[in-house]
Homo-oligomer: A and B are copies of this chain.
Amino acid sequence: MGGDHGPAVVIPGAALMLERRPDARFVVFGDEKQVLPLLDQHPKLKAVTTFHHTEVSVKMDDKPSQALRYGRYKSSMWRAIDATKTGEADVTVSAGNTGALMAMSKFCLKSMPQVDRPAIAALWPTLRGESIVLDVGATIGADARHLVDLAVMGAAMARVVFDLDRPTVGLLNVGVEEIKGVEAVKEAGRILRESDLPHLSYHGFVEGDDLGKGTVDVVVTEGFTGNIALKTAEGTARQISSYLRSAMSRSLMAKIGYLFARGAFAALREKLDPRKSNGGVFLGLEGIVIKSHGGTDAIGFASAAELGYEMAREDLMAKVREMVAASTRPELPVAQPADAE
């Protein structure tokens, strides 16, 4: 029921995802009056879907505490998360209210024993392919231990998504010599360097422009900066697309040029299509939850659902759990309390 368009995007999105992953099965929670007519339009999807009617939907702009109050146990969002807990589903995908989705996921699924705070990881398109960036907005501020947790969880996801044995991990930092980094970032760097974890290769500090270059497979930062970096990049991409559109329509010659090069522009548009990398992965919970962008369309929702499918199929949970356990061996150096919160 979530997102700007509710089932009108979710159901066609699921149908599209099913075309690409024919062995997928769906459990759908929502208002029968809205969902069933849409399912009828997608008979192939309907054939592999178990539908549960729910009376309550979480609103997009409610606070997490409000949503928990009226939506716990009975909202479509809660029940979709709970389905992952009970094992009816392998992964939960929602385009709903991010804060509510995280709060309910924590409440229902619980965090992994060694993880204090779950994170949201994003796939970031780069010149070399894709990187994983986390946290892009689950919590604000991070001490060194939390940054190390993020590194470990991000590397676990990179192993699954990029099929790498030892993904490279960088800590996002500023390059101005005078102020090189908050204490927590420096301390996390020291821990990662000294602990030499088996399933990740610590690269060192990276800067904002390394995100687009794809310098490392996993970029680690706390949620405030990560969220702002993500939205800044999205905004810059839209800004340049807008410049490009107006440049290509400003003269007859430009329009003719556009006609000749329209194949190239189509390829570029696809490269820049934010729907392709739609889907934030909640990491550190006892279950996999994928957050789709609320404003996306069916194509974007299908990407998020497919991302969830891959995470479940490759058993992201087990890999995260294994790596988190390996990173909290008692002989590892312990972070000093140098929190930026």
A17-25, A145-153, A203-211 - the one binding chain B: A203-211
Given the interface pairs A137-B174, A244-B268, the reply to whether A236 lies near B212 with Cβ below 8 Å is yes
The count of residues in chain A whose C-beta lies closer than 8 Å to any C-beta of chain B is 76
Among A88-135, those with CB < 8 Å from B are 97-100, 102-103, 126-127
CB distance from A300 to the nearest CB of B (A): 16
A8-16, A32-40, A77-85, A249-257 - the one binding chain B: A249-257
Identical chains in the assembly: 2
Task: Check A174–B223 contact: CB distance below 8 A.
Answer: yes
Given the interface pairs A243-B268, A260-B254, the reply to whether A176 lies near B98 with Cβ below 8 Å is yes
A182, A212, A234: which has the most chain B beta carbons within 10 Å?
Answer: A212
**Which of chain B's residues have a CB closer than 8 A to the CB of A262?**
257
Task: Check B232–A140 contact: CB distance below 8 A.
Answer: no
A–B complex contacts, Cβ < 8 Å, 15 sampled:
A137-B179, A174-B228, A208-B230, A208-B231, A208-B234, A212-B235, A229-B229, A232-B236, A247-B271, A248-B264, A251-B264, A254-B261, A256-B261, A258-B261, A340-B340
Q: Please pick, from B229, B242, B260, B340, the residue contacting A208 in the complex, using a CB distance under 8 A.
A: B229
Specify the main secondary structure of chain A where it touches its partner.
helix
**Which of chain B's residues have a CB closer than 8 A to the CB of A233?**
208, 232-233, 235-236
Task: Check A232–B209 contact: CB distance below 8 A.
Answer: yes
Q: Per-residue 0/1 for A150-178: is the Cβ within 8 Å of any B Cβ (1 yes, 0 no)?
A: 00000000000000000000001011111
CB distance from A166 to the nearest CB of B (A): 25
What is the chain B residue whose CB lies nearest that of A120?
A: B176
A177, A213, A340: which has the most chain B beta carbons within 10 Å?
Answer: A177
